[in-house]
């Protein structure tokens, strides 16, 4: 018996995979940065992250129901990803400020992690903005 999977199903599986990886990376790095305490103590971090996940699913399925073009559906998905990076970037700033208030100085490895984290977000945002601009320039020609 051969199992066949449509491209739409694969598309949704890839998007869900990206979401899960993004959420796990964000939550693990935030918990590391925020004094290495239990994540449950930091509701400001995990509540917005968890609440954005159903929004992704709703918009993905709405796009399939309304039968948007693949480009529009992908643009909305990347826009949502971009929107979720802003709070993550802000939480890295909060983590650094909170750590410095509790302890006199911040260890070099934490400074490096925060810098790498912020650089990663900057690169992702640049990529997404580039894709958005490219998409709109091409679509209006």
Owner of token pair 């890839």: 14
Q: How far apart are CA 74 and CA 134, in angstroms?
A: 13
How would residue 79 be classed by pLDDT, with cut points 50, 70 and 90? low
Environment class of 26 (CB within 10 Å of its CB; exposed 0-12, middle 13-18, buried 19+)? buried
Cβ neighbours for 89, distance < 8 A, ≥ 6 positions apart: 118, 121
**Beta-carbon count within 10 A of 116 CB:** 11
* pTM of the predicted protein model: 0.34
Max avg pLDDT among 25-39, 77-91, 99-113? 99-113
Mean pLDDT estimate for the chain: 63
Residue owning tokens 């993004």: 22
Task: For residues 107-120, give the mean pLDDT.
Answer: 72
Per-residue pLDDT at 120: 72
Q: What is the mean pLDDT of residues 117-139?
A: 66
pLDDT of residue 117: 72
Task: Give residue 2's pLDDT band: very low, low, confident or very high (50, 70, 90).
Answer: low
**pLDDT at residue 92 tops 70:** no
Instruction: Answer whether residue 93 shows pLDDT above 60.
Output: yes
pLDDT tens per residue, range 36-78: 555 455 555 555 556 655 665 565 555 555 555 566 656 666 6
Give the whole-angstrom CA distance, residue 117 versus residue 89: 8
């Amino acid at each position: 018996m051969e199992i066949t999977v449509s491209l739409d199903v694969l598309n949704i599986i890839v998007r869900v995979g990206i979401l899960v990886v993004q959420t796990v990376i964000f939550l693990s790095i935030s918990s590391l940065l925020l004094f290495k305490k239990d994540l449950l103590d930091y509701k400001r971090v995990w509540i917005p992250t968890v609440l954005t996940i159903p929004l992704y699913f709703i918009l993905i399925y709405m796009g399939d129901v309304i039968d948007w073009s693949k480009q529009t559906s992908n643009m909305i998905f990347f826009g949502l990803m971009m929107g979720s990076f802003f709070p993550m970037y802000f939480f890295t700033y909060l983590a650094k400020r909170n750590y410095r208030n509790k302890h006199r100085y911040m260890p070099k490895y934490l400074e490096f992690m925060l810098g790498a984290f912020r650089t990663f977000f900057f690169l992702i945002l640049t990529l997404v903005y580039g894709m958005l601009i490219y998409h709109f320039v091409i679509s209006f020609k």
